[in-house]
Amino acid sequence: MPNAPLSLVDAAEALAAAGRRFHARGWVLGTSGNFSVVTTREPLRLAITASSVDKGTLTPSQILDIDESCGVHGGTGNPSAETLLHFEIIRRRGAGAVLHTHSVWSTLLSDSHGLDRGLSIEGYEMLKGLDGVRTHEHREWVPIVANDQDMPRLARVVGAVLDQHPDAHGVLLQRHGLYTWGASLTDAVRHIEILEFLFETLGRTAMYRSRGGYHGIAANS
Amino acid sequence: MPNAPLSLVDAAEALAAAGRRFHARGWVLGTSGNFSVVTTREPLRLAITASSVDKGTLTPSQILDIDESCGVHGGTGNPSAETLLHFEIIRRRGAGAVLHTHSVWSTLLSDSHGLDRGLSIEGYEMLKGLDGVRTHEHREWVPIVANDQDMPRLARVVGAVLDQHPDAHGVLLQRHGLYTWGASLTDAVRHIEILEFLFETLGRTAMYRSRGGYHGIAANS
Amino acid sequence: MPNAPLSLVDAAEALAAAGRRFHARGWVLGTSGNFSVVTTREPLRLAITASSVDKGTLTPSQILDIDESCGVHGGTGNPSAETLLHFEIIRRRGAGAVLHTHSVWSTLLSDSHGLDRGLSIEGYEMLKGLDGVRTHEHREWVPIVANDQDMPRLARVVGAVLDQHPDAHGVLLQRHGLYTWGASLTDAVRHIEILEFLFETLGRTAMYRSRGGYHGIAANS
Amino acid sequence: MPNAPLSLVDAAEALAAAGRRFHARGWVLGTSGNFSVVTTREPLRLAITASSVDKGTLTPSQILDIDESCGVHGGTGNPSAETLLHFEIIRRRGAGAVLHTHSVWSTLLSDSHGLDRGLSIEGYEMLKGLDGVRTHEHREWVPIVANDQDMPRLARVVGAVLDQHPDAHGVLLQRHGLYTWGASLTDAVRHIEILEFLFETLGRTAMYRSRGGYHGIAANS
């Protein structure tokens, strides 16, 4: 799965582009979200967004060069406490990039379906954009994990969920947002767009299908 | 119906502009969608987007120059399996351009109305932007075809549906998206915008009309 | 009410800017909509968008210089048949600019409330942006007129409705869209934004208030 | 709480950037909204948007340099009557910047929940972006105040509400919009994005949860 890692400079530019793209769609408002890319495997080093920065206007200095102990070797600011989740996903999935967004629809679905501990997405052509999926007849289970401010504990729970669902392409934190990943940043950006598209589609479809007495769709005079 | 074909360079630029436009609206997220323009008629040659590329950042090398057997004469990458649908539409409709988008609303309606094998749109001024339509009193039937990963089979089904509905300006693939076309790329872009607008309008109108006990629209204190 | 008219060149630039703004919001998709500005009063001359052009990429040559008989003195293309509505509004209201948009929400409300021949908007602070309105306690009546392809007849009907509702700031054509105007183009652009905002707010509020059994808004676990 | 104030020139540039950002999202349509930044504390001076200007295209001259008596020392135009609310918030909260937006969702919720005199937001990770909030288990109460054209009276009411709710990060004016603030303009922009995100999430979640008979979210064939 691993692709050729990006240099730190290229990673910073590519993360800023992803940030502008997601901010424009309202998926990382108010400094929410965080993004990382593996720059070297041995030793493991990440380019990761600093904590509490606006993802729509990322500058190179807001991208930190960190090691596996969260030591900062470049950039200004501190890594977010959620960096532990990034390392957990990188280790369990061999991912080259991890992206976390906070959209309205992922917040809504992760809240309303939290008791089910996940939601399934099935029968959509868009699923074929997920790594390794070859047909719309695929059934994707997106686990939902309760939110927690104790990050070492949350990282252990997410790690266990990743092991229980080895085919999952993303994880929702309840009333918090989406984590997804990919062999490369390009793959991870694609996974964000696909899963966010599918969440909006699921949410709107459930509302459309539940409408009451009037079921026609042609215009009336 | 045929217009003067575009050169390959102009076609690449125009397809990239269409890609940026549709990506901004969320209609081609996650490398979904594909676009083509006829560059010569005899022999038939297409400029078509390569498979699995981001439609929001198309570069000239991602536009393939292909012949009727899907042989690639220029550009980097492979044509999508859905190229067969493009050729089917070009042959049956004499189209100069074919566009395929994956919006939330086309996915929702093609899913919820799939059992009806189509949906009708009637009475909207916006219909007048469809080629040959002169009044809002027009009734447009948009056929819905079951999705299928067997592309030669799907192309035959789409071809038969085009013949059964000679006046249709677009076809929906169920839980997959919209195919439309035009004499020129400009016409096809206009058809995408019109049909996507009408799908959203139909979907929201059905939900608005089905609301329960409270029917007023003035604000309350 | 009349402001200093714009030169033809400045009018073309300002109309193109309005077009980009409204196209970005999805209010003039698929070549829908048309815009005009008075450039001289005596004799009356308009800068008006040519028929069937993309409002998101207007060029100076797509802005026509026309006289009161729809004679074209500059620009490429023909005036839309709806130019008659522009003249009707300019004469009855003394307007310096007329703008017509086709949004999803104006289409939806003009359809669903067509039998009432209008809709009222009351109690919103945003109403204060309409020319001459000084308090949110204002009640705005937006007349809804049946759509018609016979433009001379439709212009007469719109003219009569303008006279019946001398305080109205806009008119909806059923399943077609909004016409509004202003002393200047700046005023007319502001009126579009305000009325479109209020239509979306009315539509969403009616749906929000009609929801069924669950009425809380706090998140549940 | 106070940060180093911005110079007038830097404040004008930063307010214009905030205006473009909020206008793009449809939160300050039709000249609605107003924004201020403290430029000096002793004596108190504000950079504030002039009344009735388009917030999407703010120019330096549209940013007024005003003193505590609303005297204008620079810029073109007049301060809005709502300037009194800005001063009230600056004095009671020690804020360095005050922002006011008019979104569809804040208008909708402030209308529908006005009788409750506020709404609570609880359990969302996004709450952690509000100044001083450390956990998603925070409960934020957003007071709703009746709209009023008598600005001195409205300012007194808002002042009293701020004192009654010392932990509140924002106030809604009914059918009018949101006021929020921060130690710096960056903090205030973040608060706008967070609160607007949460309003949309609350509104959509309540509608999603109240849907009728069909509750599944998987696609059907």
Q: What would the pLDDT profile of B113-154 be if each residue is shown by its tens digit?
A: 999 999 999 999 999 999 999 999 999 999 999 999 999 999
Report the percentage of chain C scoring pLDDT > 70.
Answer: 94
Q: In terms of DSSP bridges, do strands D170-173 and D139-145 run parallel, antiparallel, or are they unpaired? A: parallel
Task: Quote the pLDDT of residue D1.
Answer: 40
Q: What is the 3-state secondary structure (H, E, C) of A21-52?
A: HHHHCCCCHHHCCEEEEEEECCCCEEEEEECC
Task: Look up the ipTM and state it.
Answer: 0.94
A6-20, A69-83, B95-109, B205-219: least confidently modelled range:
B205-219
User: What are the residues facing C66 on neighbouring strands?
Assistant: C46, C72
Of the pLDDT bands very low, low, confident and very high (cuts 50, 70, 90), residue C212 is low
Report the percentage of chain B scoring pLDDT > 70.
Answer: 94
Alpha-carbon separation of residue D133 from A145, A183, D124, D171 (angstroms):
22, 35, 11, 17
Task: Quote the pLDDT of residue A132.
Answer: 97
User: What residue type is B3 in one-letter code?
Assistant: N
Contact between chains at C175 and A111 (C-beta distance less than 8 A): no
Q: Which residues of D touch C (CB under 8 A)?
A: 24, 26, 29-32, 54, 56, 102, 104-105, 107-109, 111-113, 119-124, 147, 149, 173, 175-177, 202-203, 205-207, 209-212
pLDDT tens digit sequence for C13-22: 999 999 999 9
Rounded CA separation C140/C130 (Å): 9
Chain mean pLDDT for chain A:
94
User: In 3D, which of A122, A105, A205 has the Cα closest to residue B108?
Assistant: A205
**Chain C environment of B214 (Cβ under 8 Å):** 206, 209-210
Rounded CA separation A113/C191 (Å): 41
Query: What is the per-residue DSSP string for D44-87?
Result: TEEEEEBTT--TTS--GGGEEEEETT--EEESSS-B-TTHHHHH
Neighboring chains of A (3 or more beta-carbon pairs < 8 A): B, C, D
Alpha-carbon separation of residue A178 from A110, A156, B197, D219 (angstroms):
9, 17, 29, 21
Rounded CA separation C30/C118 (Å): 26
Alpha-carbon separation of residue B22 from A60, B58, B78 (angstroms):
29, 12, 22
Contact between chains at C124 and D109 (C-beta distance less than 8 A): no
pLDDT tens digit sequence for B146-177: 999 999 999 999 999 999 999 999 999 999 99
Average pLDDT (A190-217) is 85
User: What residue type is C186 in one-letter code?
Assistant: T
Task: Quote the pLDDT of residue C5.
Answer: 75
User: In 3D, which of D214, D29, D200, C123 has the Cα closest to residue B207?
Assistant: D214
User: In 3D, which of D80, D82, D14 has the Cα closest to residue D52?
Assistant: D80
Average pLDDT (D162-174) is 98
Cis peptide before B43 (omega within 30 of 0): yes
Place of tokens 């509905």: B165
pLDDT higher than threshold 80 for residue C193: yes
Task: Quote the pLDDT of residue A5.
Answer: 75
- Contacts for D172 with CB less than 8 Å, ≥ 6 apart: D106, D109, D110, D118, D119, D142, D143, D144, D145, D178, D179
pLDDT higher than threshold 80 for residue D74: yes
Tokens at residue D50, please? 């002039």
Task: Quote the pLDDT of residue D175.
Answer: 98
pLDDT higher than threshold 70 for residue A74: yes
Average pLDDT (D18-34) is 98
Tokens at residue A43, please? 């030793």
Rounded CA separation C161/D16 (Å): 40
Place of tokens 């924002």: D170
- Contacts for D149 with CB less than 8 Å, ≥ 6 apart: C134, C135, C136, C137
Rounded CA separation C99/C97 (Å): 7
Rounded CA separation B182/B200 (Å): 21
Chain mean pLDDT for chain D:
94
Alpha-carbon separation of residue A76 from A47, A62, A82, B2, D186 (angstroms):
12, 6, 17, 58, 17
List the single residue in B with minimal CA-CA distance to D218: B111
Chain mean pLDDT for chain B:
94
pLDDT higher than threshold 50 for residue B77: yes
Shortest Cα–Cα distance, C27 to chain D (Å): 13
Tokens at residue A139, please? 């059934």
Q: Are C25 and D26 in contact (CB under 8 A)?
A: yes
Of D111, D220, D221, the CB nearest to B219: D111
> What does the angle CA C61 – CA B8 – CA B38 come to, to the nearest 5 degrees?
90
pLDDT higher than threshold 50 for residue A1: no
**Chain A environment of D217 (Cβ under 8 Å):** 109, 113, 119-120, 202-203, 205-206
User: In 3D, which of A218, D181, C40 has the Cα closest to residue B109?
Assistant: A218
Answer with the residue of higher pLDDT: C221 or D43.
D43
User: What residue type is A161 in one-letter code?
Assistant: V
Task: Quote the pLDDT of residue B219.
Answer: 36
Task: Quote the pLDDT of residue D3.
Answer: 58
Q: Is D213 helix (H, G, I), strand (E, B) or coil?
A: coil
Task: Quote the pLDDT of residue D214.
Answer: 40
Of the pLDDT bands very low, low, confident and very high (cuts 50, 70, 90), residue B193 is very high
Count Cβ atoms below 10 Å from residue B106 Cβ, excluding itself: 28
**Chain A environment of C221 (Cβ under 8 Å):** 114, 174
